[in-house]
Each structure stands twice: as C-alpha cells, then as structure tokens.
Amino acid sequence: MGTMKIAVTGSTGLIGSALVQSLRTDGHEVVRLVRHPSRSADEVEWDPARQYVDARGLLGCEAVVHLAGAGIADHRWTEAYKREIRESRILGTAAIAEAVASLHTPPRVLVCGSAIGFYGDTGDRAVDENAPPGDGFLPSLCVDWEESASAAEEAGVRTVFARTGLVVSRKGGAWGRLFPLFRAGLGGRLGTGRQYWSFIALHDEVAALRHLIDAESVEGPVNLTAPTPVTNREVTAAMGRVLHRPTPFPVPTAALRAVLGDLSEDVLSSQRVLPTQLLETGFTFAFPTIEEAIRSA
C-alpha cells in the first residue's frame, strides 16, 4: 500500500494517540477530528453531541478510524455517566457514518471502535465473532453502538467493528490502574480469580487496526484480543513474575467494587473471547501471551 490519508477520531485517547503516531511514522497523512474549531491543517472540527462533522475535512480520506467515546474506565458509572457513555458512542458513530456516507467519493473503509462487552459474561465458554450479544448494560450499548454506523454500510462503505478487549498498557484503561497496585506489592487475584480476561497488548491493538484498514476482505465485527485469553489468576501470576513482586493477597470482590464502581463488573465478569477473524485473515500477534503483553507494556 502506498501512503494514504486517514481520518481518526479519539486521537488523544490511549489507542488513538498510539495509532496516529504509528501511521505518521510510516508516512501516512493523518487528519484528527477534534471538538474545537480546527487550529491546524491536520485538524477537522466535529461535535458528536450536535451530530456535526465538517465533512469537507474528510475529502480524499481512504479510511476513517472512529475511536471516540466517553471512557468506560474513567468514571464511576452513575446513571448520568451511563447515559453519557451511551450517547457519546451512539451519537458520535451516527454522525461519523452519516458524514462518510454524504461524500461524493467516500473512504474505502470505516473502522469503528466497539468492545468485547458485546458478549456479556461468557463464563469459561470461548466465543468468537459468531456469538450473539449477552445481557446487560454493556452488551446492549455495543449492539446499539454498532447499529448506529448503518448509514456508512448502506452507502457501500466497508465497515468494520473493532471489538477491543482489555488493552495492556501502563498509560490507561484498567491496566493503567493495575500496574501501580502490583508495583506497590498490593496486587493479587481479583475476586475468585477464575474469570477469564481477554487482553491485547497496545502494540498489537494498533497493528490490528492497521490490518483492518488494509485487509479488503474484512467487514463486520472483529475481535481485537490476543489468541490466548487467561484467567485472572494467571494474569496475577504473570504480573508478579514480570514486576518481581509477590502476589499473596487476593483482592476481595467488595474492595474491588469500592475502588472500581460498576467497572468492577467488567473486571470480575468472565470473557473468553477469541480473535478468529484476525487469525483467519493472516494477522500475526507480536505479543500473543499475557507475559509478553505485560513485558511489552
């Protein structure tokens, strides 16, 4: 592939900032959708709440990667914040999809962020992209979030939903909170420790998004998770080995609920999700195991 012009929303977030840096390093032109009047040639204004996108800024883009949305791990899940999580994703995705569909020459691909929250709690059952949605707040959010991109699909744009797992990075997300705990020697298995975590190294997350931009045959949902989901007990043991810290203390479920609020449901529920689509379309993980992912972070 030659160099491309690619638009990215959510470019200041954990994944978006790493993606923009990776694309620019390889010589691609990146325009960032920002929520203020554009101040430079690489900024395009949009306002998800008002459903406004300055569509002129998308002219000539071969791909749009839409990662914006209120952070799931950033706040306690009050009813008001749950509404913000929902609206930021659904309104934002609809606005982007409609802007893409309105262009005379639309981009070849729209990659929309989604989440493995789609599957709900799968216990120790392994699921891939063929599995139906689970029950509860996150699955119903993910279903509506993906459906809100329908304008782009109807306009014939290849649309991919990147259902991302727990991104292993020191800089943010659930793992950003775990690293300091383990460094302090306070790490331990969470709750029973038997729940499965479907993780992905930040490096592989960015590489997978780039794979989805380039892989012409891929559309619909794609799980961005490493091929070997592990139990929380195994995560704990690997963190202890990598950080050279003992992990003797289990963290009781009640304490987790106190620290993480409703996000604790995400950390305590079990999701054993497999990246069938990525593997079948020739993607190679640089950090397929939990230990490699933690070392890379």
Is the model's pLDDT at 267 over the cut of 70? Answer: no
For tokens 């203390």, what's the residue? Answer: 249
Q: Spell out the domains of the chain, with CATH numbers in brackets.
A: 5-296 (3.40.50.720)
Can you tell me the mean pLDDT for 67-74? 72
pTM above 0.85, yes or no: yes
Is the model's pLDDT at 261 over the cut of 80? Answer: no
User: Could you tell me the pLDDT band of residue 72, with boundaries at 50, 70 and 90?
Assistant: low
Is the model's pLDDT at 66 over the cut of 90? Answer: yes
- Return d(Cα 209, Cα 106) in angstroms, integer: 19
Q: What percent of the chain has pLDDT over 70?
A: 91
Cα–Cα nearest to 150, from 100, 192, 84: 100
DSSP secondary structure string for all residues of 86-104: HHHHHHHHHHHHHHHHHSS
User: Could you tell me the pLDDT band of residue 103, with boundaries at 50, 70 and 90?
Assistant: very high
User: Looking at residue 197, what is its pLDDT?
Assistant: 87
Q: Is 135 exposed, middle or buried (0-12, 13-18, 19+ CB in 10 A)?
A: exposed
What are the tens digits of pLDDT across the range 11-22?
999 999 999 999
Chain centroid to Cα 276, Å, comes to 17
- Return d(Cα 121, Cα 266) in angstroms, integer: 9
Can you tell me the mean pLDDT for 141-158? 96
